[in-house]
Every structure is written in C-alpha cells, then in structure tokens.
Amino acid sequence: MNDLHRIKEDSFSSSESGHVTWSPIKSIWYLGHAFIAIIGGVIYFSWSALTLFIVFTMIILCFGHSLGMHRRLIHGSYKCPHWMEYLFVHLGVLVGMAGPYGMIWQHDLRDWAQRKKQCHSYLRHGENIIKDGWWQLNCDLVLEHPPELVLETRIDNKIFRFLEKTWMLQQLPWAILFFYLGGWSWVIWGISMRILVSVTGHWLVGYYAHNDGERDWHLEGAAVQGHNLPLLAFLSMGESWHNNHHAFPGSALLGIQEHQIDPGWWVLRHLSNLGLVRDIKLPQDLPERPELIAINQNANLVIENKHESSIY
C-alpha cells in the first residue's frame, strides 16, 4: 500500500458497489499468450530457450516489476536517475500486465479499497481460487462510484504516456531480437511463456497473500490484511512479504527481518553502493501509524529496533 495521495474520493465514492465484466482485450491478450506458450512451448522447446526464459524473467521481475513499477514508480521508496527509472519501468511493462498508469491505477485502487471497512470481493481476492483467477486474469471491475486517479507531475510525462499507449507493443522489439538470435523457440519462451508465467504468478501471489499465510502485523479497521509467503520470497523478488508491505507501504525494504529473503533489496543495496540510487526509505523513515498493531514477538522486535539502521 502507498499513502494513496493519487486517489481522490468524494462522499459518493464506494469501494463496494460495482460489477465484474469480461474484458475482451485483457482476456484475449492473456489467453492468446497462454495458448502460444503451452502449444508452441512444447513444439519449439530448446534448452537455450529455457535458459533465456529463466534469465529474462528474473531480470524483468526484479528490475522491472519489483524495483521499477512497485518500489519506485508506485511508492517512490528510493530515488534514481531518470534514465534508470524509465528503463526499469519499461522492463516492468514487459511483465505483460499493463502500462505504467494502468499498474498505478490497479495498485492504488486496490489499496484504497482494502483500507476501507468493506470492499468488493474482486478487490480483496474474496472468491474461490477458480473464480478469482477468471476475474483477475480476464475481467475488470466497474465500480458504480469510483474514486479519481490524479497523477503527480513526476509521473505525468511524455515517456510514461508513450509506454502507457504502447505497452503491448513494447514486446515487439524484443520478439524481433529473440527471433534473430534464436528463432521461434526464443520468441515463444522469451515472450509468451514469460508473460504467461509472470502474469499468472503475480495473480497467485496476490491471491494467497490476501487470504492465507504468516502475519506479524494487523491493520485496525482494514477490510483486508496482507500475509507473508516465505516460500515464494525468492521467486517473487521479495514481493511475497506482503504483510510487511501492508505495515510499511513506503519502505524499499520488504523483507524487514534478518531471515527474510528479499532479492529486490539486495539489488537495490548494490545499486546504492554504486551511487546509482539514493534516499532509500526504510521502515524507520516512515510516519507512525496508529492503526498498525504488532501481533507477535517478531513484530515487537522490529519496533524495538526500529531506529537501529544496522538491522536493515
């Protein structure tokens, strides 16, 4: 969650009233890549294509989704040169979910709704896994009285507007490069298989992180509580420490305890050592939240050591 300064609501705004409708473009995009990946992935399998899939997926999930879209663009939890932010967000677009503004809207709307006492089940992953999977991957929620998204000047610029308008086409230069280097097997595994696995994996982490798992923190009055998923920490680049993220939304560090694996943080720390990023926000840099309650000893230890930067 972020501080929701981009979400503007009025007395009529509601996080509950609305209906889920099939989104043709979203569904065809996802199911089309799924069909290509499943069928073509078998026919055109090669070990080099599998290697490309693994390496390129890890790069995009770490630098693009976690560091670019989430920790930088959405939360502003660190600062970096403009060229780096644009590169990271471009890589985040390649995940295949949406453009930068689409990602901001999905994220901020969900977080705004989850902080209410009640919200639509679409926004809290409140249905069974089959129904929620269909909804999230193929449908959109249309609220009767949605809030307004107001972008700050830093984000409302021509680079991000271009990425938003062309987010699907951003795959094309990479597809051409992969075809040149490795033929159809590289295109299928480097584009369609990566999109299928990344988008499906993002939904699964979100589903379980809002329904089941470990919790150290409770947000009083919130309709939805985040859960930590330790087994997925490495694959998600640290994003599965979702209970921590609900507790400290502006922190660039998601694995806030020493034993909590956070690959995104490891990379960010190295970039900081190289002088490429600065002003990194940690839990101790964030305002106190009276609604945040520590519910076990692990959380109490974090609070007790909050001002000891060495633990981070």
- Which pLDDT value is given to residue 78? 97
- Which pLDDT value is given to residue 26? 97
Mean pLDDT per block of 10 residues along the chain (312 residues) reads 74 94 98 98 97 98 98 97 98 98 96 95 97 98 95 93 98 98 98 98 97 94 95 97 96 94 97 97 92 84 58 42
- Which pLDDT value is given to residue 297? 76
For residue 148, give Cα distances in angstroms to 1, 9, 12, 160, 283: 17, 6, 12, 19, 28
The domain ranges of the chain are: 14-311
Give the residue ranges of DSSP H helices in the chain.
24-35, 41-43, 47-59, 82-93, 100-114, 129-138, 158-165, 171-187, 193-209, 242-247, 263-273, 297-304
Q: What is the pTM of this model?
A: 0.93
- Which pLDDT value is given to residue 299? 75
* Euclidean distance between CA atoms 140 and 9, whole angstroms: 20
User: To 10 degrees, what angle do helices 100-114 and 82-93 make?
Assistant: 80
Sign of the alpha-carbon torsion through 77, 83, 84, 88: positive
- Which pLDDT value is given to residue 2? 46
Task: Using a pLDDT cut of 90, give the percent of the chain over it.
Answer: 90
- Which pLDDT value is given to residue 3? 57
- Which pLDDT value is given to residue 4? 59
- Which pLDDT value is given to residue 255? 95
Contact 260, 230 (CB under 8 A): yes
106 phi, psi to nearest 5 deg: -60, -45
